[in-house]
Structure 1
């Protein structure tokens, strides 16, 4: 066992450095996302979800770097990644709206001007929805109409439609 560590000491040290940098980046991104969430008065749970998305992305990049450190052949990685992406691509093609809604949820976190409690109107060709924002989740937004009906509206559709602010923080009434 000690022969293995002495033989691969440089690779192990470089891998530890990559993992250390990963954890530092994870902390920094988490702090930045929480600070943005706090400044925009966004729920902490939403900030944690967005930070988790970024952490997973950085972790995958760190794993790729560690694979290069240990000398994994690029051709082998190409075969593995093309197979994995083919399977993921088929799965996401079958449910493309999930990926679209998650991406829209991240965009809404950083740039959506309305907050929980605001009364909004969503304009569409066939209908208009006038409701209070009750919750903003990863896949959909929960809207509560005046008659008490709960509407779950997909995040990707919210980015495609015109939205008007009717009343700021309608819950404070």
Structure 2
């Protein structure tokens, strides 16, 4: 079956090349067209990958992530830069945080999964229970 498919693809390509030669298509025009099509397909696949990644991460966030709505969290971006806020919304593509300084911040779900997150809601509850 696979060999038949490969042979059919090769024969179709040979047919297209012969037809384009008969019609007088220039090689430079053909190369430009093929390059444009491949660029378009590459961009479409990249966009599709990004969307599917965010949707998959939203499912992971829904079922298995320790952060829930209204939790206060700290996202450790780097050594000197942290984002502190409260989780307001977990959507299909984005997680929305409400911060004290800059209002609302939306983070893509795949970035939210990849970053180190410290849930400070549990620490607040534990410290209130001890008092």
TM-score of the aligned structures, taking structure 1 as reference length: 0.43
For 2:66 and 2:108, how far apart are their aligned partners in 1?
17
Alpha-carbon distance in 2 for matches of 1:160, 1:128: 14
Q: What are the Cα deviations for residues 64-122 of structure 1, in whole angstroms up to 9, with x where unaligned?
A: xxxxxxxxxxx8xxxxxxxxxxx998623234322211111111111111111100000
The structure with the greater share of residues assigned to strand is: 2
Contact kept in structure 2, 1:121 and 1:166, CA below 8 Å:
yes
| Conserved 8 A contact 1:92-1:99 | no
- For the aligned residue pairs, the C-alpha RMSD in angstroms reads 2.8
Counterpart in 2 of 1:108? Answer: 61
Alignment gaps of 5+ in structure 1: 1-74, 76-86
Distance in 1, Cα, partners of 2:119 & 2:101: 19
Superposed counterparts of 1:133-152, under 5 Å:
133-147=87-101, 149-152=103-106
Distance 1:109 1:92 in 2: 26
Match of residue 158 from structure 1: 112
Q: Which residue of 2 aligns with 1:93?
A: 46
User: Residue 83 of structure 2: which of 101, 117, 129 is its match?
Assistant: 129
Residue 56 of structure 2 aligns to a residue whose secondary structure is helix
Q: For the residues of structure 2 that align with 1:139 and 1:162, how far apart are their CA atoms?
A: 19
What SS class does the counterpart of residue 117 from structure 1 fall into? coil
Displaced runs of 4+ in structure 1, greater than 2 A?
A: 87-92
